Amino acid sequence: MNKQLHSTDPLTVLDGIGAVKSSRFAALGVTNLGELCELFPKSYRQNKVTRLIDAVPDEPCGFCFTVLSLPSVSYYPGGKRLLRFTAGDDSGKANIIFFNQPYLKNRFVKGDRYFFYGVLRKKNSVYSLYSPEFEDMSAFREGIHPIYPSAEGLSQNAVRSAVNAVLPYADSLVKERLPSETVLHMGFSDRAAAVCELHSPTSAQALISAKRRLIFEEMFFFSLRLRLLRDNNAKVLTEGFHSVDMAPFFRRLGFEPTPAQRRAIDEISQDLIFEGQKPVMNRLLEGDVGSGKTAVAAAAIYITVRNNKNAVLMAPTEILAKQHFASLGELFRPLGIRTLLLTGSTKIQRRREISELLSGSERFLIVGTHALIEDSVCIPHIGLTVTDEQHRFGVRQRERLSEKAECRNMLFLSATPIPRTLALFLFADKSISVIDTLPPGRKKTETYLVTQALRERTDAFIDRQLDDGHQVYVVCPLISDSDSLSGVLSAEGCYSRIKERFPNRRVGFLNGKMKPEEKDRMMTGFSEHKLDILVSTSVIEVGINVPNATLMLIENAERFGLSTLHQLRGRVGRGADKSYCILMAGKLNDSSRERLETLRDTDDGFRLAEFDLKTRGPGDFFGVAQTGRLDFSFFESSVFASSSESVTRLISSAKSEADMYADRLTPAEKSRLNTSDALMN
């Protein structure tokens, strides 16, 4: 072919693609040649022919088989259909079995040769391959083989041949996205070459390099977007607050802030209190569970209200909002600051009263849930918005909250410790304060990793805690019984068991499907010690404070991520008494065992986070950042599997390259980029 192809050309310019096939590609989001180049494989397999007698059963393997018998279809109760035939090579034969794909019957003709790829099963010296992948031997090529996303009516071969038809033109179809300086600094090959490598890998090493390039691209543009956002926000100037006598506040607080809390309060004060004009505060306060973020936020609130502005605190759940309302209300009442509560269940009548109050000259702390960002709610004179457990809110919700504020000082609280390099990258639009030490006198929560074999002893331990007048949390990973098939006790099942085993105790049950009022009643009951045991799904993860609870039992602990487990453990050890966390493990593999053992042996959230980053890559932290439009779709921990250091280094490079690029931009270029889609795709 010596055609001239353009990235905007429709697929129909390719031989063999007509209107029908091109509409099937459209289902994959591919409507032109440029997009076809960007239709990346979702996975890869190693294409290699193994003789049947050399294959290891129960491991994936590829075979070159000749079809030996006519496919036959049998029917089973419930409408199930099974297609079966035999095929083999010179060393033996195997049953090939497909479920519910009777149309494949005409595909396999006796005597034809196919490449089959699947997990070989061996039973009573009979070999079987269930639902293997397959292709004509004529299309087979050894090496790393791309597997594309599938769409109805579009075979892997059809996708592959369309892609292969355009790859020779990649130089003109694939545009470079990175600035040329960055490509140079990073020593990248050009983008077209990387794209070709992804579609048609030449070696495992080259494939990894190509993937790294795309991962870098995503990180670069993510970083650039945050940097531009930061530059943009820096243009929104605000008047500083006047300084405030904090002595009454600290007296009322009733404890001495830790040095880390002091430092955070100082940093926030400098953001808020100054002469003249400065950009609004946009700060993340990061601190482990129980590190005392609320007191720091309260100091910011105090400064704000004393400056005759309203302060807003938004919590992700009704329970948490009420808890803050109760404790902050009590803290501030004697200081002459009234606290208002506004959640989804606030009645119309009360909302009217609140509106009335807000229109007067008094300033308040308004605590609530996302009801605060509903359009019908209008809070005037906002000087500060605090968002607790920020990762529980979507980006859009957070943006809406800040849009509502005329003077948008923003403080975000996060209980998810994040390794420093990663935090600087993920929250590049914000300043960061870290509370890295716990208040004094905190006893370490003793953590045990046990199996079902210790069930009776665990139950006896629960009894002892309750006899001592304490309370117990029992957390299960799932809520419905349909999941119990896999040997995992559902929360409902667990609740029944606990009620039966502890007939004389008051047992409550909490799950995410309950109505807010129900949840609330349950949680309030527990915190007022009207319940002894609270069985729950991980909904209690967020910020609940019941100091009398001294035992956290986590069922099927291997099912939770390290940071969730750490958060759950943080629900106990909040009072003066010794607390315990029991990790009841189900089936463990090497990595889940290592994870749980690490949790058992470490109570420093930042160290656990480092461990997570090292073993699982940064993927788990992306959710914390609520990255919004960018989802790091290329990110793959396996690319970094061999070296934990390189992911951190790649992240730092992406950030510094993005910063250098932004520094070179003129204001006009910046504002054009800010509004263009270039940053988004």
Burial 225-240 (b: 16+ CB within 10 A, else e): bbbbbbbebeeeebeb
Give me 560's structure tokens: 């939770």
605 binds Mg ion (CB under 5 A): no
Separation CA 45–CA 120 (nearest Å): 15
Please choose which of ligand ADP, Mg ion, none residue 304 contacts, taking the beta carbon within 5 to 8 angstroms, the exact cut-off set by kind: none
Separation CA 33–CA 630 (nearest Å): 23
Min dist CB 576 to ligand ADP, Å, is 11
Please choose which of Mg ion, ligand ADP, none residue 355 contacts, taking the beta carbon within 5 to 8 angstroms, the exact cut-off set by kind: none
Closest CB to ligand ADP: residue number: 292
286/657 with CB nearer ligand ADP? 286
Please choose which of ligand ADP, Mg ion, none residue 654 contacts, taking the beta carbon within 5 to 8 angstroms, the exact cut-off set by kind: none
196/289 with CB nearer ligand ADP? 289
* Packed helices 562-569 and 605-616: angle between N→C axes, nearest 10 degrees: 160
87/540 with CB nearer ligand ADP? 540
User: Which span (38-46, 540-548, 561-569, 634-642) binds Mg ion, by CB under 5 A?
Assistant: 540-548
Please choose which of ligand ADP, Mg ion, none residue 291 contacts, taking the beta carbon within 5 to 8 angstroms, the exact cut-off set by kind: ligand ADP
261/648 with CB nearer Mg ion? 261
Min dist CB 551 to ligand ADP, Å, is 18
Min dist CB 439 to ligand ADP, Å, is 3
CB 198 within 8 A of CB 369: no
Q: How many CB atoms lie within 10 A of CB 565?
A: 27
- The secondary element (H helix, E strand) that includes residue 60 is strand 60-67
Q: Tell me which residue of 240, 214, 209 sits closest to 38, measured CA to CA.
A: 214
Closest CB to Mg ion: residue number: 543
Answer for which of 543, 570, 617, 618 binds Mg ion (CB under 5 A) is: 543
146 binds Mg ion (CB under 5 A): no
Please choose which of ligand ADP, Mg ion, none residue 384 contacts, taking the beta carbon within 5 to 8 angstroms, the exact cut-off set by kind: none
Task: Name residue 282's beta-bridge partners.
Answer: 410
- x/- site string to Mg ion, residues 486 to 525, per CB under 5 A? ----------------------------------------
Please choose which of Mg ion, ligand ADP, none residue 508 contacts, taking the beta carbon within 5 to 8 angstroms, the exact cut-off set by kind: none
Min dist CB 575 to ligand ADP, Å, is 8
Reduced 3-state DSSP string for 619-642:
HHHHHHHCCCCCCCCCCCHHHHCC
199/293 with CB nearer Mg ion? 293
Q: Tell me which residue of 380, 368, 378 sits closest to 308, measured CA to CA.
A: 380
CB 351 within 8 A of CB 378: no
> Tokens 């129960």 sit at which residue?
58
Separation CA 264–CA 269 (nearest Å): 9
Cα–Cα distances in Å, from 291 out to 146, 261, 329, 351, 543? Answer: 48, 8, 20, 34, 11
Please choose which of ligand ADP, Mg ion, none residue 22 contacts, taking the beta carbon within 5 to 8 angstroms, the exact cut-off set by kind: none
Min dist CB 434 to ligand ADP, Å, is 12
287/419 with CB nearer ligand ADP? 287
291/653 with CB nearer ligand ADP? 291
224/415 with CB nearer ligand ADP? 415
Question: Nearest-5° angle of CA 612, CA 615, CA 616?
Answer: 70
Min dist CB 564 to ligand ADP, Å, is 15
* R_g of the chain computed on alpha carbons: 30
User: Which span (154-162, 185-193, 538-546, 666-674) binds Mg ion, by CB under 5 A?
Assistant: 538-546
Min dist CB 315 to Mg ion, Å, is 9
Query: In one letter, which amino acid is 141?
Result: R
Min dist CB 431 to Mg ion, Å, is 20
CB 283 within 8 A of CB 230: no
Q: Tell me which residue of 620, 615, 580, 575 sits closest to 600, measured CA to CA.
A: 580
415/557 with CB nearer ligand ADP? 415
295/462 with CB nearer ligand ADP? 295
Min dist CB 268 to ligand ADP, Å, is 15
Please choose which of ligand ADP, Mg ion, none residue 290 contacts, taking the beta carbon within 5 to 8 angstroms, the exact cut-off set by kind: ligand ADP
Separation CA 315–CA 367 (nearest Å): 8
320/534 with CB nearer ligand ADP? 320
570 binds Mg ion (CB under 5 A): no
Min dist CB 568 to ligand ADP, Å, is 13
Min dist CB 516 to Mg ion, Å, is 19
> Tokens 């190509």 sit at which residue?
210
* Residues with Cβ within 8 Å of residue 2, at least 6 apart in sequence: none
Chain residues that interact with ligand ADP, rule: CB under 6 A? 255-258, 261, 287, 289-295, 415, 439, 543, 545, 574
Q: How many residues bind Mg ion (CB under 5 A)?
A: 1
Pairing of strands 237-239, 277-279: antiparallel
Separation CA 105–CA 113 (nearest Å): 15
442/670 with CB nearer ligand ADP? 442
Min dist CB 367 to Mg ion, Å, is 13
Please choose which of ligand ADP, Mg ion, none residue 198 contacts, taking the beta carbon within 5 to 8 angstroms, the exact cut-off set by kind: none
Min dist CB 413 to Mg ion, Å, is 6
Q: Tell me which residue of 391, 395, 422, 420 sits closest to 654, measured CA to CA.
A: 422
- The secondary element (H helix, E strand) that includes residue 472 is strand 471-475
CB 611 within 8 A of CB 562: yes
Q: What is the DSSP letter of 444?
A: P
Cα–Cα distances in Å, from 242 out to 275, 310, 385? Answer: 8, 15, 18
- List of residues contacting Mg ion (CB under 5 A): 543
